[in-house]
Amino acid sequence: MLTNLFFSKVSAMSGFQDYFIIFLIWLISIILIRTLFKKRTSSGLPPSPRALPIIGHLHLLTPIPHQALHKLSNFHGPLIHLLLGSVPCVVASSAEMAKEFLKTHETSFSNRPQTAAIDFLTYGSQDFSFAPYGPYWKFMKKLCMSELLGGRTLDLLHPVRKDEIRRLVCLLSNKADAGEAVDVGGELIRMSNNVISRMIMNERCSGEEDEAGEVRKMVQEVIELTGKFNLSDFIWFCKNLDLQGFRKRLKDVQVRFDAMMERIIERHQEERRNRKENGDGDGGNVVKDLLDILLDISEDENSQMRLTRENIKAFILDIFAAGTDTSAITTEWALAELINHPNIMNKAILEIDSVVGRERLVEESDIENLPYLQSIVKETLRLHPTGPMIIRESSEDCAIEGYHIPAKTRLFVNVWAIGRDPDHWEDPLEFRPERFSGEDGTGKSPLDVRGQHFHLLPFGSGRRGCPGTSLALQVVQTSLATMIQCFQWKVGDGGNGTVDMEEGPGLTLPRAHSLVCVPVARINPLSFM
């Protein structure tokens, strides 16, 4: 019996070894074939570091990819070729290279790559941000610029932004009276989430249990899942495997988000039916939220393109994901820089006091008369762009600077590195808003952040540039101006410390450590609110 057991184990081990040897031979054969094929087809590609079998250059990336890619570009040049697992990529790290890809060859790089997370959460790219370049995307782009995020809609929703900033000021004033520290980033994220939530569905987040609070939690999960490395997106033979358990988490988030959006849409439709029954079919004097506008378009039989339920839900997820963290993080970085540069903070205070005074809160309409404040925001976006990399994918073969770029090559434009390029910026690591002050005596620089100047691309450029730039600037500039006007900010023991400026991992360039400060009132904003 023991002999039979021994031989059965040996036989089982022998069978396992046979399968393992067959698998090893197959794997080595595949690697050799792909290596030989690569050698034949890689001629004409941009410079590249040495790659490893299977994983390519994945081992060269760190938890903060834009920093790792910047180091590689310093050694290999402003245009390099990488193989991230099975995915061919090119990295552009200079303004000149960015212009080649985003302007000269814009048509070839108008698509965004699809990942498992994006495909799943956007109902198969039924959204706007990741939809393929084509008729639907063009329709949604036009809609964003004219209706959803255009000037008229932003003007109508101005009271929402104003109210949320005032609520933030009230909270900070109470903290100042109590001498308590504030997690500035956390409060800014809460404020921007409320702005987006009220703009989309006329509901603010008052707690974790309401719908807006649930949306906020789910958006954080979406940002986390889309920002994490997923093996199946990069290693070709892992494509249909879920080795990290992402698929289960994605399905859970998608099901919960879908159910919630169905409830919100049904409630909106019920309110719309009630208005029609009461003879107020077009809403009268009611300010429509973005969901109302989307429902109007979906019900319009004469619309150029009818929006589906999936289009609406995916677009709303886009707005939440793109608008919640980005504005808050930019404002947090700007305040951190000002705390570390008190001379710049004092200049900003003097400007606001001279233009606005100390008897009322700064308004959005004041921003055009605060050029130094605008320069502070521009300088913040240069050093700390909330989109540190622009990501595209080529739809066809093309030639860039004499190099062959095949179709389906992923493009990374390193905005973070371009903003620190000494060829375009004097003392690039210094925080110096004066570089945007202009030379015409007006205090304003023609250098803008909207994608026309390729050494400053915080909102992207061209067709797929960020459609929410105007909204983001309004929220950032007004909230920052209000925080400067109303409070001094103390950090560390005795209130004279400096702020750590280390970056953390993430898609939107978060700080490694939260900005925790004690606000000290400069004026009493509650007296004129």
Cα–Cα distance, 223 to 456 (Å, whole number):
25
Q: Which of 374, 377, 386, 376 is nearest to 326 (CA)?
A: 386
Q: What is the rounded CA–CA span in Å between residue 214 and residue 259?
A: 12
d(CA 90, CA 473): 30
Cα three-residue angle 471-413-459, rounded to 5 degrees = 10
CB distance 253 to 245 below 8 Å: no
Structure tokens given for 246: 């992402």
Contact 400, 100 (CB under 8 A): yes
Query: Is residue 89 marked as binding?
Result: no
Q: Is 69 exposed, middle or buried (0-12, 13-18, 19+ CB in 10 A)?
A: buried
CA angle at 417 for the pair 517 and 381, rounded to the nearest 5°: 40
* End-to-end Cα separation, the chain, in angstroms: 90
Is residue 464 within 8 Å of residue 392, measured between CB atoms? Answer: yes
CA 349 to CA 205: how far, in whole Å?
31
3 state DSSP class of 357: coil
- List, in sequence order, the alpha helices (H) in 42-157: 65-76, 95-99, 116-121, 135-143, 151-156
Q: What's the alpha-carbon Rg for the chain, to the nearest Å? A: 26
Annotated binding site for heme: 466
Annotated binding site: 466
